[in-house]
Amino acid sequence: MRIAGRTSGGRGEWELAGVQDDITLSDVADREFVVELLPGLRFRTGCWLPTDKWRQQGKPRMRLMPTASNAGHIVYPLTAALLLPKPKREVRATGDGRLTLADDEYAVEIVKFDIVELDANHVVVTPTDLVLTNAGGDQVRVDHVKRMRLVLDLWTTANEKSSDRIAQMLLVHRAACRKGDAQRVLKTGSRLR
């Protein structure tokens, strides 16, 4: 399955698409999405696919739950956890030409994921890769496992040099990811950038 970015009249939306084995969109509707960065390392997103809006509008758009924390749509805490620059919501508002991994110079076009758990209230997904794009149509694929390996290496190095200011921020980032605090992951990701 995947989360796909759509222009939606200029604001940028994320829609669900695809199937996994016998699991369809109907099976994951009305459940909060939980991202598993690594086995046991999860954060709640506050995002869901509300059946009523999907059926009325005919498009499986993800929405923020009314009681959700203010971490924003699923791509923002995910990119912050992966220590990627801040993406733009709308592709047309990004740079042109060669894609640059810098704040607001790219958008997340696709997040491919595997479903690892499904219960009455939650769907736990682990990303496999992200496709980043810009207004010029240039794309970069980010392999989730490889990127997490780099983040783990940074956390390890930060632990060894904990007196350094950036190392201290990386340790706060690690603690936020371990705690599953999407808002704090977003804040520390922003501070590290």
The rounded distance, in Å, linking the Cα atoms of 149 and 14 is 26
The rounded distance, in Å, linking the Cα atoms of 111 and 191 is 24
Helix (H, G, I), strand (E, B) or coil at 53: helix
Question: What is the count of structural domains for the chain?
Answer: 1
The rounded distance, in Å, linking the Cα atoms of 139 and 107 is 10
CA dihedral 90, 95, 98, 103 (to 10 degrees): -80
The rounded distance, in Å, linking the Cα atoms of 37 and 111 is 13
Residue 36 domain boundaries: 2-192
pLDDT values of the chain reduced to their tens digit, one per residue, 193 residues? 999 887 665 555 788 989 999 999 999 999 999 999 999 899 998 899 998 877 777 889 888 888 766 677 889 999 999 999 999 988 888 888 899 889 999 999 999 999 999 999 999 999 999 999 999 999 999 999 999 999 999 999 998 887 789 999 999 999 999 999 989 999 998 898 8
The rounded distance, in Å, linking the Cα atoms of 119 and 97 is 43
CB 111 within 8 Å of CB 130? yes
